[in-house]
Amino acid sequence: MTYSITEISNQPAQPLRHLLQTSWQLPKRYVHFLRIKQNVLVNGQYVPMNTIINPGDQLQMQFSEAEFRTQQGYLPNNHQTLPILYENRDLVVINKPAGLKSHPNQPNELDTVMNYMAAQIAHPQMIHRLDQATSGAMIIGKHPIVVPIINRLLSTHQINREYLAVVSGQWEENAGMINLPIGHDPNDQRKRQVNGIDALPAQTNLKLIQAHQTHSLLKLQLATGRTHQIRVHLMAKHHPIIGDPLYGMNPGPRMMLHAFQLHLILPFSGEKLTINAPLPIEFEQYI
C-alpha cells in the first residue's frame, strides 16, 4: 500500500529519519524497510535518511503487506451501524454501545465492533478494546501503518481516555488515586483481583463528581491499562460499579461505566483533539 503525505507544513525542518521515527513514531522496522527498498519519496524522489525535510515538502511511503504484523480479517456485518464521533483517513473514533464485544474470539463470530466496522470501512484495525459492558469512545485504525503509532501514543499516555462511573454507596474523597496491583483470580478465569496471580502494578486516578447516600458519580483516568482495572479497583474500595455483571452486587440497567472523553493526538500531523462520547440515557437517573 502507498501512503502519501501531501504536504509537510506543521512540523519544523528535520532529518528524514527523525521525522519518520521520532516525530511520527513509526517503528524502526518500518523505517528500515523504507530505507532498504527505497520506498520513501520526497518530492517524487528517493533521498537518504539524513536529508533535511522542510515545510512544504511532499512525502510518499510505500509498504507491502508482508511488512506488517497483519491482523485477521473480520467478517463484515451490516445489521448495525456504529455511531462515528470522528474520522479521518487514518482512523475512526466510534461511540461503542454497552453490551457489544470489541472483537470476535471465534472465526465465525459476527456480532462485535470489528464485524460491524468491517461493513463500514474497508480494512478495520483493532487498536484497543473496551469491555463488553462498557460504552464510549473507541479508536479503530483504517490501515495497518497507523496501528503501532497509536499503540505507542497510548502506552506513553499521550493519548488517554477518561471514564465516568456510577458506583454503589457514598464516595467520601473529592479526588485521589488507587494504586493496587492486579492479577488473575485463581477461582475464576474471567476475573481479575487485587494481588492476584502474576499481579502487575495498576494505578487509577479519580475525581468525585457527585455523591449521594446510595450512589456516587466518579471521573476516572487510567495511568496503567490492566484488564478490568477500573472495575477491580472500585470493587476493592467497596464501591463496585452499579450493574457490573462480574464485580458488582447492585443491579442496574447496565454496567454504569462509560468512556466519555478521548484526548487524541492525530498520527502524522500531531494535532491534538478532545472527542466527547455523549452520555448514555441510562446515566440520567443517577445524575
CA dihedral in degrees (61, 65, 69, 74; nearest 10)? 120
CA nearest neighbour of 161 among 98, 225, 244, 235? 225
**Three-class secondary structure of residue 176 per DSSP:** strand
CB 130 within 8 A of CB 96: yes
Catalytic hit among 57, 90, 131, 244: 131
Q: Tell me whether residue 131 is one of the annotated catalytic residues.
A: yes
Using CA atoms, how far residue 99 sits from 39, 132, 215, 245, in Å, is 43, 5, 22, 11
CA nearest neighbour of 215 among 285, 141, 266? 285
CA–CA gap between residue 34 and residue 15 (Å, rounded):
15
Q: Which residues are catalytic?
A: 131
